[in-house]
Structure 1
Amino acid sequence: DPYFRQEVVAAASRHSKLPTWFFSFLRNKAPYVSNGPICKKQPEEEGLPVILFSHGLFGTLEMYSTLCSQLAASGYVVMALEHEDGSALYAEDMQGVEVPRTGPPAGFEYTRENVSE
């Protein structure tokens, strides 16, 4: 699989007003397997630690796949969400239909002060 879906590359080009070829490096092969098998080895008494990962505004699930893969390789169960609220650069709903980008939800102001408090 390519590192980024073609639709994400097109969305990045569209929103940045840069030509699609500028993002051609994002089409490289990803070093992971899509929908790979779940580890069958379970700890004897303890469960596996779980990380719920959110890519944030204007992100996509691909943007942090290397980080999430490393966390999974270190023994964590990583659940990475793709937001379907219109705040992502590109997203698809459960049926695979593109969710139009509408920007951040109304009423939210994202500033360093708001996030760090």
Structure 2
Amino acid sequence: ALPPPRESGPPTLVGVFGLLLRCRSWRSFASQTDGESRLVQVLREKFPQASAIKVVDISGGCGAMYEIHIESEEFREKRTVQQHQMVNQALSEEIKHMHGLRIFTSAPKP
């Protein structure tokens, strides 16, 4: 049995889990979220040579956590950590409002 909800204070794990469940069930009926669209727009501006950009809200539509895939010529000859730093810098303002971010980057195959 779960303990009764707390009257005040920071959100409990149960409360956060419940919120994510509600978001996840809403997300199953939605196409691209506003947050996903906004991130794609910022990334297209910052990486104009990108041949592929995919952003997925992996928090179920809540905007707390995103997975980003970018394929861009700008990443060629750069180490993975440098590529990820470029993405983090491009999204520096947006990241302030996120819980987490998964980044996958690559250069197009020749």
Verify same fold: TM over 0.5: no
- Give the structure with the higher percent strand: 2
- Give the structure with the higher percent helix: 2
TM-score (norm 2): 0.29
TM-score (norm 1): 0.28
